Each structure stands twice: as C-alpha cells, then as structure tokens.
Structure 1
Amino acid sequence: MILFFHPNGLCSSLLLLVIIFFSLCLFAPAKCQSSESKRTNYLKLKLLHRRALSSPFHIEEAIDDDSTRLLSLFATLSANITLKAPVVSGASLGSGQYLVDFRIGTPPQKLLLVADTGSDLVWVRCSACRDCSRHRAGSAFFPRHSTSFAANHCYSRACSLVAHPPHSRCNHTRLHSSCLYEYTYGDRSVSSGIFSRETATLNTSSGDLVHLRNISYGCGFRASGASLTGPRFAGANGVMGLGRGPISFASQLGSRFGNKFSYCLMDYTISPSPTSFLLLGDAQQRNMAPLQKNMSFTPLRSNPLSPTFYYVGIRRVSVDGALLPIDPSVWAIDDFGNGGTVVDSGTTLSFFLEPAYTQILRALERKVKLPRLERGVASLDLCVNASADEGTARARLPRLTFHMDGGAVFSPPVRNYFIEVAPGVKCLAMRRAEAGGSGFSVIGNLMQQGFLFMFDTERSRVGFSPAVCDAL
C-alpha cells in the first residue's frame, strides 16, 4: 500500500497508519508478535508417555487402545464422506500415547495434553470456579485466574471453523456473544464449551521462554463419553490437535515458525519411560543439522474427504530386498476417500489394508529363521521364540522396507515391528486393518521409534531420518 502525504493531511495520514497497524494485529496477530518469537528457530515441548510400561510390552492394552482409535479414525472418514464437513474428530483420546507439557494463560498454568496428529482441535478441561484454592493445580485450566483469557466472538472467523452445539444461536446485538463449540469424537464422546483465545508459554531452542498470544482453543466445561472420562484418559487435561486443519496447533503457529513440526519418539518400553520431544518450527540446531541433511522426504498426499490426516504414498514393499507382488491400487486413495496410508502418532501398532497385509505377513513368515509359536499372542499373527542371544535373534528376523513416493525409502530396524510381548517371545507388531470396506493403512508410533519425523506443510511433505532422540 502506498500513502501520499500532504502537509495539511499529516495527522490524518498518521491516524490511518495507526488504524492499519491495529487492524493487522486484530486480524493477523502473527504479524504483531514480539521480535523474540521471530528470532526463535523452533519451540521445544516435552513428550511424556501416557503411562509407564515395563518390558515386556503390554500388548493387550495397546491392541485395545488401537482398536478403539481406529474405529474413531474410520468413523471420521465415514462422517466426512457423508457430511463433507470436519464435524467429527479423528482422535480417540484414550489411545493417545504421548502427553505434551503445555502452559497456558497469564500467569501460565501447567497442563498435560494428548499429542495427536489425527485431530485438529486444541482443547483443555476448564473450571469456572471463583475460589479455586480447593482445586489441585494442573487438574484443569482456571480462566478466571488468567488476565489474557478472551472468548472468540460468535461472528468471528475463528468461530466459523468449529462445530457448534445444536440449536445454538449467535446474538448479533450483544458485544460479548461467545463462540460455543461442541466437538464429537468417533466413539461419540463429546467435549464442549467456549472457543477462546489465550497466551501459550513455550520453551525455545535457546532455552528461553516465548509467549504466543491469541492461540485459539476450546475451553471445555463439559466432557462425556468413555474416551474423555474413562481410565484411558487419566492424567490428561485435554488434547493438542496437530492435524492439517486450520484450527490445529501446528497450523495456528505455522506462519510464525515455518509451517513445520517434528518429533522423535524414544522406545517407551523402557522403564522408567524416557522423555521424547515435540519440536515446532524449523529446527536448525547444530546437532540436528546432520539429521536434516540426510533426511528423506516423501510428498504428502491430499484427501479432500479427510483433510486432517497426514497421508503418504507407498509404492512398493520389500522383505530382505525382495519386492512383494502388491497391487499399487491398494495404496491409492479412491473417489470415496478410502485407502491411502496415514502417519499417526496416536496409534501404537501398524495396520495395513488387504491384500497388502497378507502379502507382508506371508513374506515375513517365509523369511523368519527362529522357531515359530503355533499360537499367536494377543491376537497377533506371527510370534517367534527369541530366547536366544538378542543380537542373534535380530539377525535372524527379516528386514521390512517401504519404498515411498519421491524415492524415499523407510527401512525401520527390526525392533520397531518385532516386539517382545513376553519373556523370550517376539511378535509382529502389525495387524490387518479391518475397516469393513472403508478406511486406510496406518504407520503407528512403534514403527516410527528412533526416527526424527518432520511434517513440512508449507512444502507439503514428510521427512524422516534415523536419530538418537535423547540427544535432540
């Protein structure tokens, strides 16, 4: 914009500049952040495993969680096909495996949120108490104790991005007509409350703190359903949606931090559970530069009927270097939004649609050089006696490789898909994706362990590189 100044109109011109500046701050708050946030390379958040698991791996719990989650993910896909609107979240909160250490409000209140790449909404459990001294700190967010709390107006653009309770109306005559939201999960659990704005306080790459204003989130005063009230949600105060939709935490911070986020998941069968990290922004720390230089990238695929998920393209699969005869159409996304492969942080095992799963299973069975167990463990299809020396056992298990779009090759170590489920017993941590004619394949978080995964939405790609996660 070019402004022409006239001596008699100088005051008017200055007034116009002030109006333009505050308009930018109102409608594009990212442009008005402090210089500290602009200089920050990336933000670093702790990722804590939801519950401490000891080895052997508690496979029954993982399968139970995954089954619930996949039903929710597939329900999301079906709902979007029918309604063509993102009214159902892709998260099944109880099965989220990692919690983010999150601070929100002024002064900051510390909460634990489920980190979930399969949903968009950020929401926290809120309490409307006036005298909150009787409530334990960290049990909920107390908006009355925050000087930066503000509700989005029901006619704001932000409010148009969330689903609302049935029959809710916006009163255009009221200055403070709050935006009400109602978020329904695949198992029909519901979080509802006020869609609001707050200041989030996060660690930066230099170890300092940065205050990010005007983060939109759900201040949830009501929650119902097994996913949000049962034991699987214990310890969590809400969810941090990291999906591709406009209201996700990653999308809201996109323009501020390079439209990128990364995570590196450590082996959570170790006891006590180690800390992993979620990195928001362009991580150019010195000790990460070699990882990014050697990172393999594959393009993100788009599914208009399921825009939340991070789809990647698998072209071929090989076992010990031999390509499997899997029809490429298995990996394609059809006109109804079915098919494709999703990278998901909240699913433990990996799931593959037919006939890909059967082909992978048969190839691994032929290559296994350890004694087979006639009966699988916990409904897993391939279990072996691995009581011999650990190094020898790994050497006698076949190597699985995924050849992806763009020439990227993902070849995880054997321990990422043959896991110990009992003393001396290893099982294949994969299952058939039984979607009843719909759904997609899923690369779960066990398969992702020990890799730095970078989600670059600006260039529409996902990168991965082997990493020592606790060194990041």
Structure 2
Amino acid sequence: MSSHPSFFFLFFFLLLTLPHYSSEYLKLPLLPPTPLPSPSQLLAADLRRLSVKSPLTSGAATGSGQYFADLRLGSPPQRLLLVADTGSDLLWVKCSACRRNCSSSISAFLPRHSTSFSPHHCYDSPCQLVPHPPSHKNRLCHNRTKLHTPCRYQYSYADGSTSTGFFSKETITLNTTSSTLLTTLKKLSFGCGFRTSGPSVTGHSFNGAQGVMGLGRGPISFTSQLSNTNTKHTFSYCLLDYTLSPPPTSYLTIGPTPNDAVSQNSFTYTPLLTNPFSPSFYYISIQSVSVDGVRLPISESVFRIDAHGNGGTVVDSGTTLSFLAEPAYGKILAAFRLRVRLPAVESAATLGFDLCVNVSGVARPRLPRLRFRLAGKAVLSPPAGNYFIEPAEGVKCLAVQPVRPGSGFSVIGNLMQQGYLFEFDLDRSRIGFTRHGCAVR
C-alpha cells in the first residue's frame, strides 16, 4: 500500500473530509465479549486468524479479538459493537438492506434508516485504497459518466471468509467518557458489508460483533482517519482481565495519552519497524528472551523480518494468545519444563497446549518468569498471569504457541498485554508501555 504513487495524496484527502477539532483526546470504553469464550475457542480463533503465511495484506485476518468498541453509526445513530483490532485497517460493519418493518433482532447497520449515509463513488480517490471483488477489478468505473456507480470492496480472510459491500461515508457518534470533546464525526470512511461469510466473521468465533474497528497503520484505519494537523497520530489502550467479576473497564484513547493518567516519563519505548510487504502491522524487534533471569541461546535473527517479508514480531490486540517463532518457542518451552516445580498434567495436548500444570490447592503457584528484551533497551517482563491460561479448574497452561519458520510472524497477543498501558505513537514511529495508569476503575 505504501508503494502506491498517490498514497500521500489519498491519505490527506481522507483527513480533509473530517472535521478539525482541538488536540484533546477521545477515550472510549472497551467492552468484554458476552458470553466469555472458552480457552479452546480462543485458541481455535487465534489459529484461524494466523493460518495464512505472512506477509499478510491489510485486514487479512480478524476474528479472535476479545475487546469491543461501542460505536454509533448514522443519523439517527445506530449502536454497534466492533472488534478493536490493531491487526487490520478497515473499519467495516455488517449492513442490511431492510427498509420497512425491520425486525429488532437484526444485528446489522441499516443504511436506509440513516439520512447521512452515502457510498463512495467508484472514481473517488479513497476507493483506490480498498481491495475490490474480482469481477470488478478490471471494469471498475470504466465509464465516468456513470456518476452513481458505488465503490465496491471485498476482503478475503485466511480461512476463506469474506466481507463484501460498499466502501462508504457516514456520521459516527462515539460513546466517549469525556463530555468536553466533540464526539460526532462526519464523512468517516467505512466498509458497509452486505455479504459476510465464513467462521472468521460469523458465528461464535466473532463473539457477536457487528464488524471490526481497524486500528492499523494504513490511511483508512480508524485512528489514521481521526488524526489531523491538530491531533497527534497517537492512540493507547489499557487492557484489563475481563474474566474478573465484575469485569473492570478497559479503555481505548485516541490522541495523546492524558497527562493526568500517567507521566510520559513512566513509558518504556521501543521503535516500530516497517515491513513493506505488510505495512499495516505494528512490528517490533525482540533482541533476546530470558526465563527466570537466564538468557536463552536464541539468535536475534529468529525474530527478524526476512527479504520476503516473512517473520518479525507483531503487537496485536485482535489475537488473544502469543505466538513465537521456532526455535525460540522450543527453547522457552524446554526452560519452563526444567524450572516448573508443579505436577504436569498429562492431558495438556488434548487441551491444545504443550505445557499444563496442576495448581489445585496451591494458593500462589510459583511459575517461571518470562522476559523479552526489545530494541531501544526496552524490557517487557509481564507477570505469569499474562502467559498462563486456566482452561480447567486447578489447571494452568502455557498460553504461548509455536510458529513454524517461514509460515508467519510472531505475535504479542492481548493476553500478554493485559495490565499494561500501551501507547502507539505513529508520529515518532514507536510503541511505549508502562504498568502505571492501568488501574481498575
């Protein structure tokens, strides 16, 4: 996408269609799924999401996100729940063509009921930013006298799922916690999907969402469209454990991180890398891995992006577990097995994991500590609860999975990110994280 000659023109065209507002911030609550998925469902959804070889194109996979943004689309506003996903760009929703006597059970956006809805024309510059159905690629807008020809898009997913419809413009009302900020945005570009098929975007794996809020690095992502000359191209989120009762509220903040939430000095930053084959993803560099303070014999090259765009490490809110490249995963697993002092669970493989331990009757089970040293002297040392999952009562399993060489990239999933405030600073091309400012509220 970044190699397109008109990339910067199209990017600024999108920004100019949005209202300008002050350099404040939007703070949106992120909601947990209902009902909560089981660990086996999470693992299955993650594997579907990552089942395609990298490099991936923008929006090539969604489906296992566990945090939802509350968004109101149209005039008058219609409430929708969208997966908050840093692994894709496009903001799209399920649409219905229903005009009259529509059932209240329809879980989709009704464009005919909105006075502000309009599809992009096929010759609009933003239309060049989305993939088109194969049947329209060669004859898209060949006759410019057809003024009402809409811009059609089609996203295809790793497991064969698709979202197809019109790339459109609409007014969006945000359910923000701030009462001082303008929260109605006009002419925001989004995909109005009249046809969705496949497990990634339907059924239980989609957890009842009506679409995806793409938070990637591309010009059509939600955060890119909201950034302009008065608002920094920065967003942050604090992901909290939604399995607690009652579940705490996680937040997505678009704009600079509020000073009253956390001091900028408390952040540790690591540079963002760019993969020209997959420009939308947030790549970081893992330089070494330690278990209980012992550095493992893993070459830094294991985590590098190769000349074909394969490999690398992505920070992704839409994947739950974490996935690490072999042979790094094998060495980490061996180190954990050597150091864990709890009884192993023989049925680990049937649960979908390589290492499970019995913690019944143990108030505070001692589990090995995992530590990542990143570029820029940053260190990510999460608590054990960020990489152990409890698929059954009294059983904890290592929530990390292997990635075969050449078959994909490593992923720091949302479970590994819990309890941290993550800041994505696109202006300075870096990611920051801190354990401060992410308290239960």
**8 Å contact kept, 2:18–2:186:** no
Q: TM-score, normalised by structure 2?
A: 0.90
Distance 1:276 1:371, change over 3 A: same
**8 Å contact kept, 2:60–2:158:** yes
User: Which residue pairs with 2:72 in the alignment?
Assistant: 103
Specify which of 122, 147, 156 is matched with residue 154 of structure 1.
122
Distance 1:374 1:185, change over 3 A: closer
Q: TM-score, normalised by structure 1?
A: 0.84
**8 Å contact kept, 2:296–2:331:** yes
User: Which residue pairs with 2:49 in the alignment?
Assistant: 69
Greater alpha carbon shift after TM alignment, 318-327 vs 274-283: 274-283
Q: Secondary structure at the match of 2:83?
A: strand
Distance 1:402 1:27, change over 3 A: closer
**8 Å contact kept, 1:383–1:425:** yes
User: Which residue pairs with 2:331 in the alignment?
Assistant: 359
CA distance in 2, matches of 1:452, 1:315: 22
Normalized per residue, the structure richer in helix is: 1
Distance 1:433 1:271, change over 3 A: farther
Aligned: 1:174 with 2:146? yes
Aligned runs of 1:15-414 on 2, under 5 Å?
27=13, 30=16, 33=19, 37-39=21-23, 41-53=24-36, 58-71=38-51, 74-75=52-53, 77-78=54-55, 86=57, 89-93=59-63, 95-131=64-100, 133-136=101-104, 139-168=107-136, 169-170=140-141, 171-204=143-176, 206-208=178-180, 209-255=182-228, 257-286=231-260, 288-290=261-263, 292-376=264-348, 378-391=351-364, 393=365, 396-414=366-384
Distance 1:413 1:198, change over 3 A: same
Q: Secondary structure at the match of 2:326?
A: coil
Greater alpha carbon shift after TM alignment, 296-305 vs 165-174: 165-174
Q: Secondary structure at the match of 1:60?
A: helix
1:276 Cα offset (Å): 1.6
CA distance in 2, matches of 1:137, 1:230: 15
**8 Å contact kept, 2:49–2:200:** no
Which string of whole-angstrom CA distances, capped at 9 and with x for unpartnered residues, describes residues 431-457 of structure 1? 11136x321111111111111111111
1:283 Cα offset (Å): 2.2
Q: Secondary structure at the match of 2:50?
A: helix
CA distance in 1, matches of 2:108, 2:428: 37
**8 Å contact kept, 1:69–1:92:** yes
CA distance in 2, matches of 1:400, 1:118: 24
Q: How many residues are matched?
A: 423
- Could you tell me the percent identity over the aligned residues? 55
CA distance in 1, matches of 2:206, 2:321: 19
CA distance in 1, matches of 2:18, 2:109: 26
Distance 1:27 1:423, change over 3 A: closer
**8 Å contact kept, 1:371–1:385:** yes
CA distance in 1, matches of 2:259, 2:75: 29
Task: Specify the code of the residue in structure 2 equivalent to 1:362.
Answer: A
CA distance in 2, matches of 1:351, 1:68: 13
Which string of whole-angstrom CA distances, capped at 9 and with x for unpartnered residues, describes residues 344-400 of structure 1? 111111111111001111112222222333442513122222224423x1xx22211
**8 Å contact kept, 1:44–1:202:** no
Task: Specify the code of the residue in structure 2 equivalent to 1:144.
Answer: R
Q: Secondary structure at the match of 1:103?
A: strand
CA distance in 1, matches of 2:402, 2:361: 29
Task: Specify the code of the residue in structure 2 equivalent to 1:242.
Answer: L
**8 Å contact kept, 2:386–2:418:** yes
**8 Å contact kept, 1:52–1:271:** no
CA distance in 2, matches of 1:336, 1:242: 24
1:470 Cα offset (Å): 5.1
**8 Å contact kept, 2:176–2:183:** yes
CA distance in 1, matches of 2:294, 2:231: 41
Distance 1:104 1:470, change over 3 A: farther
**8 Å contact kept, 1:48–1:274:** no
CA distance in 2, matches of 1:349, 1:397: 17
Which string of whole-angstrom CA distances, capped at 9 and with x for unpartnered residues, describes residues 6-40 of structure 1? xxxxxxxxxxxxxxxxxxxx946548725xx325x
CA distance in 1, matches of 2:48, 2:283: 20
Distance 1:466 1:234, change over 3 A: closer
CA distance in 2, matches of 1:179, 1:173: 15
Distance 1:105 1:98, change over 3 A: same
Which string of whole-angstrom CA distances, capped at 9 and with x for unpartnered residues, describes residues 211-235 of structure 1? 1112100111111222223332252
Task: Specify the code of the residue in structure 2 equivalent to 1:386.
Answer: V
User: Which residue pairs with 2:9 in the alignment?
Assistant: none
1:182 Cα offset (Å): 1.3
Structure 2 gap ranges (5+):
1-11
User: Which residue pairs with 2:6 in the alignment?
Assistant: none
**8 Å contact kept, 1:326–1:356:** yes
Structure 1 gap ranges (5+):
1-25, 81-85
Which string of whole-angstrom CA distances, capped at 9 and with x for unpartnered residues, describes residues 25-73 of structure 1? x946548725xx325x2112221222333xxx832112111111111xx
**8 Å contact kept, 1:182–1:191:** yes
